[in-house]
Homo-oligomer: A and B are copies of this chain.
Amino acid sequence: MATGRTHRPATRSRGIPEATVARLPLYLRALTALSERSVPTVSSEELAAAAGVNSAKLRKDFSYLGSYGTRGVGYDVEYLVYQISRELGLTQDWPVVIVGIGNLGAALANYGGFASRGFRVAALIDADPAMTGKPVAGIAVQHTDELEKIITDNGVSIGVIATPAGAAQQVCDRLVAAGVTSILNFAPTVLSVPDGVDVRKVDLSIELQILAFHEQRKAGEETVAPDEVASAQAAAQDTPGAAAAAPAPLAPHRAAPAAGTDNGRQGPDGDVPAVMPA
């Protein structure tokens, strides 16, 4: 998922919790699959299983939309598909621009999930003149110079940023200035935007790092009794192997920023320098 959103503190637009909104697309997908199999109705239990959530949660989520179910029967699939689509704003057409047609941008342009849900790729934009005019996913790439014109001409309000990190903020500023109010950011940067603009972030690297954390923990649990090491928590919480030569973590001394000296090089771990490269 995209991690977090920016601004808009209590996004409770007269009813629907943010967490619920984030699950509606999930329900919609499951319902669409049922619809294609011509299943007429579905119970909260079945649908919850298909969407991978708790059935009580699903019912509560739907209760924010209204009372669209029939007790003793369940939910009418087609009707619910429409209601959720309407709530999400998918009954209208959303022109979208993708800025930065590198590997990722091209992949996004080719991603079928966009076109099938009310999103239309209005334009592909790249700063590289060599890319201009080149067709990607059947659409000719346009140069960044045209950005403002493209936005206004097509009435684009949603932009996707797939540029390198260095260009992201600048592109973002231009998009916002031209009228875009929702941004999906794939660049590994924190974008700053004015109030009223929504930003969602998708960060591949972060997802992997979160997995690595759990992976490391799983590996550690096998070897050490995980219970009640509370006291040691502050002291050393690393893997058994690496624990040995770690510099005393508590020591508030270390006044001189030892930089890459004692902590940069981690002996027993060996494999990789602790200092992270760019």
Contacts and interface: CB of A to CB of B under 8 A. Distances in A.
Contacts of A61: none
A276 interface: yes
Contacts of A90: 209, 212, 276
Copies of this chain assembled into the complex: 2
Contacts of A216: 88-89, 92
A203 B88 CA distance: 16
B237 A91 contact: no
A276 B202 contact: no
A221 B134 CA distance: 40
A29 B276 CA distance: 10
A116 B257 CA distance: 8
28 contacts: A8-B214, A13-B214, A13-B217, A15-B227, A26-B190, A29-B188, A32-B278, A33-B276, A36-B268, A36-B278, A67-B252, A76-B257, A86-B274, A88-B209, A88-B216, A89-B212, A89-B216, A90-B212, A91-B242, A91-B253, A92-B271, A108-B204, A112-B262, A112-B270, A115-B262, A116-B270, A116-B278, A158-B211
